[in-house]
Amino acid sequence: MKGLSINKDMKNRFFECLWTQAGVVQHKICHSDFQCVSCQFDKAMTRVSEKNRRFRKQGLTLKSRGGRIVFWKEKMREKPPGKRPCLHSMKGRIQFRTCINEYQCGNCEFDQYFDDQHVVHAVVTPIDVTDIHGFKIPQGYYLHRGHAWIKVEEDSEVRVGMDDFSLRMLGPLDEIKAPLLGKVVSQGNKSIHLRRGNKEAAVVSPVSGIVTALNPDMLSSVKKKGHTSYTDGWVMRIHTDNLRENLKSLMIGDEAESFLSEEIDALYQFIEAEKGPLAADGGQLGHDIYGNLPESSWERLITKFL
């Protein structure tokens, strides 16, 4: 990544939580790759610090231990300017760099530049992956019934991709088209368009929001190299102002696993109805399911599963 010194040696280590680095709490390790938007500890600390801020504005002081809690950015601003690390340094993404913008990242040119570079080139790393009859689904990912997934990131941003089921069902694609940057997408509406030969299909957006980044590797070289569904195979990044409401329509954990298991059973039945019993490799379906079906099966396959 040109122009940035990325601290690659740090990426697989555990780091101190931002609240610990700022000195608000004594010891807390981040185990979620600094995805604060989905961190219950961060949410609880933010609620307490905001409550304390309101009390201070009224000239009141809480005598409890929690009354001393302030937001981690406020604590950082108390440090000398040269000892205020940039947020990206705190997260271990770059070597030490001072913050010169009072932790107002939304108005920081460096933050915008880094985000543009990091978001596009970063690889999502699932914490743990579950195998269901040969199909993969990672822990911590939300799944839409239209077989698109999201990985919650920072500041109400989510990364979006197609799950292992849909990519293997359709087989090698010739083209993937995503909405343009700045385009508004709606949950449940068709947003990712696919082409295999003269056959076309569409995958719905799992959330509503504005497209903020696209994966150029996935969109420009679908067949040139292999992509892993849940890592470098993401398609777009979306900023949503209503993430909590969107998540109500998505599945995670046991619910997602049960859904996928049912879809796999339905797929086996579909294959038998179209072609008769399919000789599966090792008792599991292969990576080009449509390629082993009659050409006329495409529309019925898309209608049933996407």
pLDDT in tens, 258-295: 999 999 999 999 998 888 765 444 456 888 999 989 99
Domain limits, the chain: 8-121, 124-306
Nearest by Cα to 244 from 209, 274, 220: 209
Distance CA 20, CA 23 (A): 5
- pLDDT of res. 124: 64
Residue 125 is predicted with a pLDDT of 64
Give per-residue pLDDT as tens, 55-76: 888 887 777 777 889 999 999 9
- For residue 98, how far is the Cα from the chain centroid? 28
Query: How much is the mean pLDDT over the chain?
Result: 84
Residue 6 pLDDT > 50, yes or no? no
Selected from 1.10.3470.10, 3.30.460.80, 3.40.30.10, 2.40.50.100, the CATH number assigned to the domain covering 124-306 reads 2.40.50.100
User: CA-CA-CA-CA torsion for 99, 105, 109, 114, nearest 10 degrees?
Assistant: 90
- Read off the pLDDT of residues 41-56 as tens digits, 9 standing for 90 and up: 998 999 999 988 888 8
**In this predicted structure, what is the pLDDT of residue 95?**
80
pTM: 0.62
Per-residue b or e along 85-94, where b marks 16 or more CB atoms closer than 10 Å to that residue's CB: bbbbbbbbbb
